[in-house]
Amino acid sequence: MGLHSTMEKTPSHKPSPSVTKGTIAQDDMAHSAAALKTITRKVDYHLVPLMLLCYFLQFLDKVLINYANIMGMSTNLHFTGNDFSWMATAFFIGYAVAEFPQGFLIQRFPVSRVLGINVVLWGVVICCSAAAQNFPGMAAARTLLGMFEAVISPALIMITSQWYTRRQATPRTGIWYCGLGLGQTVGGLISWAAQHGTRTGGFESWRIMFVSVGAFNVLVGLSVTFLMPSSIGAAKFLTEEEKGALKEALLADQGGNGRKVFHAAGIWDALGDLQVWLLFLNTVLIVIPSGIITTFSATLIRGFGYDAKQSALLNMPAGVVSVFSTLLSTFAILYRFPRWLGICCLMVPTLIGAGLMSFYSRSQAGSLAGIYLINFDVAPLALVYAWVGANVQGYTKKVTTNVIVAIGFSIANIIGPQTFQVKDAPDYIPAKITVFCVCGGSVVVSILTRILYGWRNRKGHVTAGADAGGFGGAETEDGVDKLTDRNNPNFFYVY
């Protein structure tokens, strides 16, 4: 009996061939996932800090005039009337004009090299801005600065989508986009410190601030030019096996940009794509409030009766709000939180802040709380950028879409400062009501974008999981070069 029992149990310890194959397959998948995680960590360490620094500096450069204005720049340069608003506008006129040339450079040359050289050039312009003696001189410098900084968003979106799968890309976009909030916070500290400097001749404290920040820009630009790899194949920190595994993962996810091959059809595809224009419109609506806050928040705070040093310090919490809301919304994507709903949720505190600024302007505490809350509006743009990186396929189409969205960014920033007119001082009620209206418009456009993506997915009969990278078979690299999201039957829009 004992022998019989032993003999009966023996076969049960031997796995069947199908079970063995399944176990091996699962082990291979687990090994591949672990290997890809290690590769991604390497990419994070080498790329994300540089991208964060670039976005931090481009925002710091823009917000410098916000702090310089409370440090006496307008008085030193003899500004009158709406000169300050027009100086802020000049930056974004240059930004808009340079978008297509910068897009051509990104298409023609390695993105990291184009980015690094532009960072060096705009650092030089920041330093030269310290020598301005009047409105025309500063306006010219700001126009040049805008032309060089026009590269930033398209370049960083392209780099992010080049190295990460679509699910990985959104939180990475959130990390480098936090440079905006960091720029706002650090800018307040720099302004406060510069105001304690000793004036030498005609070299006021705001000029010292410009030279210091400009020199740091040049150093970062050189680091990006020489340290950031131009492609996966050029990454010295990855082995050949790791490069192959990363390319294969991007291909299976239908991520990446494909090879830098120009296809004119990609331009026309972008121009005729409704999603591109919804993203453009949403960018305009989101950026108008953030553009106002970027340029005028310190001025508004000083209008409450604080001195220049206090205004610089009181503007710093706005940057903390920006960082918190950006990280919260972008990392929520890892837990399957819908992107469109994230934008709508972020607009709720923004609308409350706009209401406090517009309808409780006589309350110092209420207005200050409104300025802080309205900085939740900064984060939705990171989700729009993530949409561009995830839902636009084809290198030429992606470059074109990045340019269109960046033009929307510059148009919004041209509109924003012009809502602040001298005749409306000190409350600037029309500007504050504008903020209230465009935030509501962004919610409507986000919902329409969600409906469009859902309709396209159903129309294409796609059933695979969006963020899981479930597509109907990986394409060859040659095939992907000619595909866009509109003509790829296996493409799934994420929302």
The mean per-residue pLDDT over the stretch 12-29 comes to: 47
- pLDDT of 24 higher than 50: no
Mark residue 492 as left, alpha or beta (left: phi above 0; alpha: psi -120 to 50; beta: remaining). Answer: beta
Residue 372 contacts residue 156 (beta carbons within 8 Å): no
pLDDT in tens, 323-334: 899 899 888 887
Q: What is the pTM of this model?
A: 0.79
352/348 Cα distance (integer angstroms): 6
The mean per-residue pLDDT over the stretch 99-128 comes to: 92
115/230 Cα distance (integer angstroms): 10
Percent residues over pLDDT 90 in the chain: 26
Q: Which carries the bigger pLDDT value, residue 370 or residue 40?
A: 40
Q: Which amino acid is at 369?
A: A
Query: For residue 194, what are its two tokens?
Result: 């510069």
Query: For residue 50, what are its two tokens?
Result: 């540089």
φ, ψ for residue 435, nearest 5 deg: -60, -45
Q: Is 200 helix (H, G, I), strand (E, B) or coil?
A: strand
pLDDT at residue 259, rounded to an integer: 61
DSSP 266-321: HHHHHHT-HHHHHHHHHHHHHHHHHHHHHHHHHHHHHTTT--HHHHHHHTHHHHHH
Going by C-alpha positions, the residue among 252, 241, 240, 257 that lies closest to residue 476 is 252
- pLDDT of 248 higher than 80: yes
Helix, strand and coil in the chain, % to nearest 5: 80, 0, 20
**Structural domains of the chain ordered from first start:** 47-481 (1.20.1250.20)
What is the number of residues in the chain? 495
What H or E segment, with its residue span, contains residue 158? helix 152-163
φ, ψ for residue 200, nearest 5 deg: -115, 110
